[in-house]
Amino acid sequence: MADLITRLDAARRAHGHQMDLGTADLRILWMFSDDRARTLKEIAEELRLEQSTVNRQINAALNAGLLRRDRRAGSAAHEFSASAEGERAFEADVEKSMAAYHLGLEALGTDIDEFLAGFSRFVEAYGQAVRPVSSGETEEPDAGRTQ
Q: For 35-54, how does the pLDDT look when each residue is reduced to its tens digit (9 = 90+)? A: 999 999 999 999 999 999 99
From residue 77, alpha-carbon distances to 1, 5, 40, 51, 74 in Å are 50, 45, 8, 14, 9
Q: What is the pLDDT of residue 44?
A: 97
Beta bridge partners of 38: 80
> How many angstroms from the chain centroid is the CA of residue 8?
18
Is the model's pLDDT at 92 over the cut of 50?
Answer: yes
Is the model's pLDDT at 144 over the cut of 90?
Answer: no
* Class level of CATH domain 2-130: mainly alpha
In a 3-state reduction of DSSP, which class is residue 69? strand
Q: What is the pLDDT of residue 15?
A: 93
Is the model's pLDDT at 84 over the cut of 50?
Answer: yes
Report CA torsion sign: 41, 46, 49, 54: negative
> How many angstroms from the chain centroid is the CA of residue 60?
17
Could you state, in order of their start, the residue ranges of all structural domains in the chain? 2-130
Q: What is the pLDDT of residue 134?
A: 63
